[in-house]
């Protein structure tokens, strides 16, 4: 036999309808292909066009014929894909092989697997209390992704009080909600209607929606705060403009009559004082800090907020907001004792006070109270809890400090090797986050009496420091005087030298006087004859405008 016949399906198109609820693994026989050849040239198998839903398997009957069977590998979803077109190929065993094809048309049938979905999660409507019966409240609408009867939607009310069901009715086909009886605002200010949508398959899960209906009225209601008094907590050192609290008032009226605005009405410091601390946003009721708060200066204050509607005349109500300032650890401990050296100086340049010291007898045993470190912290709570720790000492093993008491005590008995002058440094920490600290320095003298301790803290250091300062002042003073003296000598020498180089203003020749300055000198003088034994030396300024000579001193005979 030669391979002169290709496999051939009995029909070229196969139609299959598979429900989208069909489970993966389901099998569908799609037909048999025939091949007139025999032996190795006969029909060998089938191949299916690549797809994500189906695979093909070859089955063989008892008589040896082979047919194709579709296997569902993945669940179908009609909402994503309504139909599939696949090519099935039959192959024989010839070389080269011959093929025959057939088209598979798979129609995915709908299952009621989608409930109706409303266009909104919640509906709101407003109706005046004078609306006549028959008025439309609202039209609700829902959609269903299924098809056919599974997508046909009807509307109705869910379980509600009989009083509500008497006042409203819903059109089953259109979803129009209609008022049946007159409304009375004084009786009921609002209604919550539960609307259901059902499809033809009977699914009602997740297809309910609320309609909140507000009945409007004239402005006969004042705004009402959610709380009569508010409490707000703000950390100190806050940024100016930080949100403190948000108050909210509701008005049962509607429109302008129910539009609420907020104002400051005063507080513990009066209206002006409250305005300096906080401000309120008129539309939202949010209170913002006008400045940074300081717990140590102001720990709490109260503010009155007025809510006012937009009616005419306007109605209002007031709520109190009490603001509590929370403490931050922004103050380090302050050591009161021992006082730091120089802490008592009254003004700059004044002599600083000597550092205090404690006298401890050498006979003191372990546990002897040397002194008590006293410190305070301006913060509060844990931020003001203080603990003490020894960080430095001339003899670290000689002293200890109480963790919470601040008491400095001897840790052991004195020995002859201990120096007389001891220096103890303790750190005071608070319990804030992060912790702040301060140090206290305590000077201790090991002596049996105060008289014995005084020589150890003599004024030698102060005298040495004072002498050093005086030496510096003397050196600077001598330098300044020497500089002034040298400058004066140079100036005098220069002045004399200039005068010696200047030419005479007037020159005498017998009885005539003439100027060496030429036209610059004024010729306002008189000549006269004097007896020979008398001669005078005339001195005039080069620019003098005087008409008379000044005879300064007599001269010698010519």
| 3 state SS for 323-351 | EEEECCCCCCCEEEECCCCCCCCCCCCCC
Q: Could you give the residue range(s) of every CATH 2.60.40.60 domain in the chain?
A: 8-109, 117-216, 224-326, 334-340+353-458
pLDDT exceeds cutoff 80 at 162: yes
CA angle, 419 then 421 then 423, to 5°? 110
Comparing 145-149, 185-189, 448-452, which segment has the lowest mean pLDDT?
A: 448-452
> Any idea which architecture 117-216 has in CATH?
Sandwich (2.60)
CATH architecture classification, 8-109: Sandwich (2.60)
Residue partners of 212: CB distance under 8 A and separation at least 6? 122, 123, 124, 125, 190, 191, 192
Provide the mean pLDDT of the chain: 79
DSSP 168: E
Both tokens of residue 99?
A: 């093929």
- In the chain, the N- to C-terminal Cα span, in Å, equals 174
pTM above 0.85, yes or no: no
**pLDDT exceeds cutoff 70 at 75:** yes
Give the pLDDT confidence score for residue 456 in this predicted structure: 56
Rounded CA-CA distance 260/409 in Å is: 68
pLDDT digits (tens, 9 = 90+) for 359-391: 888 888 888 998 898 999 888 888 888 999 888
Strands 208-216 and 300-309: unpaired
**With pLDDT > 90 as the criterion, what percentage of the chain qualifies?**
18
Average of per-residue pLDDT across 545-555: 45
Record the tokens describing residue 462, joined without a space. Answer: 């102060």
CATH architecture of 224-326: Sandwich (2.60)
- H helices then E strands: how many in the chain? 4, 39
CA distance 304 to 526: 102
If pLDDT is split at 50, 70 and 90, which confidence band does 534 have? very low
pLDDT over threshold 50, residue 431: yes
Q: Specify the CATH number of the domain 334-340+353-458.
A: 2.60.40.60
φ, ψ for residue 467, nearest 5 deg:
-60, -40
CA distance 367 to 357: 19
CA nearest 245: which of 197, 296, 286? 286
The neighbouring-strand residues paired with 224 are: 250
- Residues 257-268 pLDDT 10s: 889 999 998 755
- pLDDT value at residue 60: 79
How far is the CA of 202 from the CAs of 35, 38, 111, in angstroms?
51, 57, 12
């Amino acid at each position: 036999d030669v391979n002169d016949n290709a496999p051939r399906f009995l029909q070229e198109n196969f139609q299959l309808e598979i429900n989208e609820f069909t489970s993966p693994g389901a099998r569908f026989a799609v037909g048999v292909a025939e091949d007139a050849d025999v032996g190795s040239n006969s029909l060998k198998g089938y191949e299916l066009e690549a797809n994500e839903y189906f695979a093909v398997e070859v089955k063989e009957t008892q008589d040896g014929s082979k047919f194709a069977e579709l296997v569902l590998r993945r669940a179908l979803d009609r909402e994503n894909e309504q139909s599939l077109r696949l090519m099935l190929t039959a192959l024989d065993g010839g070389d080269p092989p011959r093929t025959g094809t057939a088209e598979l048309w798979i129609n995915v049938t709908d299952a009621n697997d989608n409930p109706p979905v409303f266009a909104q999660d919640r509906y709101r409507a407003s109706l005046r209390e004078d609306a006549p019966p028959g008025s439309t409240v609202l039209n609700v609408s829902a959609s269903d992704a299924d098809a056919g009867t599974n997508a046909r939607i009807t509307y109705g009310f869910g379980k509600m009080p009989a009083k509500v069901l008497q006042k409203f009715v819903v059109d089953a086909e259109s979803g129009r909600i209609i008022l049946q009886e007159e409304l009375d605002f004084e009786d009921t200010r609002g209604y919550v209607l539960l609307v259901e949508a059902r499809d033809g398959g009977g699914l009602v899960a997740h297809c309910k929606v609320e309609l909140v209906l507000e009945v409007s009225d004239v402005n006969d209601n004042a705004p009402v705060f959610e709380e009569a008094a508010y409490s707000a907590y703000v950390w100190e050192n806050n940024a100016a403009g930080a949100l403190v609290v948000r108050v909210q008032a509701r008005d049962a009226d509607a429109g302008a009559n129910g539009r609420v605005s907020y104002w400051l009405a005063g507080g513990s410091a009066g209206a002006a004082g409250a305005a300096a601390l906080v401000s309120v946003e008129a539309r939202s009721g949010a209170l913002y800090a006008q400045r940074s708060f300081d717990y140590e200066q102001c720990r709490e204050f109260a503010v009155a907020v007025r809510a006012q509607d937009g009616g005419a005349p306007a109605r209002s109500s007031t709520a109190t907001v009490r603001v509590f300032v929370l403490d931050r650890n922004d103050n380090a401990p302050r050591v009161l004792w021992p006082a730091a050296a120089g802490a008592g100086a009254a003004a700059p340049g004044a002599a600083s006070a000597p550092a205090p010291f404690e006298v401890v007898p050498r006979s003191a045993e372990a546990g002897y109270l040397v002194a008590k470190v006293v410190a305070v912290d301006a913060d509060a709570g844990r931020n003001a809890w203080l603990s003490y720790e020894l960080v430095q000492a001339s003899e670290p093993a000689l002293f200890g400090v109480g963790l919470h008491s601040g008491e400095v005590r001897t840790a052991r008995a004195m020995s002859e090797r201990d120096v007389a002058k001891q220096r103890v440094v303790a750190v005071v920490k608070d319990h804030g986050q992060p912790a702040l600290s301060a140090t206290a320095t305590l000077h201790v003298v090991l002596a049996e009496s105060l008289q014995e301790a005084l020589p150890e803290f003599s004024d030698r250091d102060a005298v040495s420091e004072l002498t050093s300062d005086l030496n510096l002042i003397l050196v600077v003073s001598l330098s300044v005087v020497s500089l002034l003296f040298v400058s004066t000598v140079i100036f005098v020498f220069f002045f004399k030298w200039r005068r010696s180089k200047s030419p005479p203003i007037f020159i005498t020749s017998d009885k005539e006087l003439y100027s060496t300055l030429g036209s610059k000198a004024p010729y306002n003088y008189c000549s006269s004859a004097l007896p020979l034994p008398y001669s005078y030396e005339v001195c005039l300024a080069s620019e003098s405008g005087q008409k008379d000579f000044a005879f300064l001193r007599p001269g010698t005979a010519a």
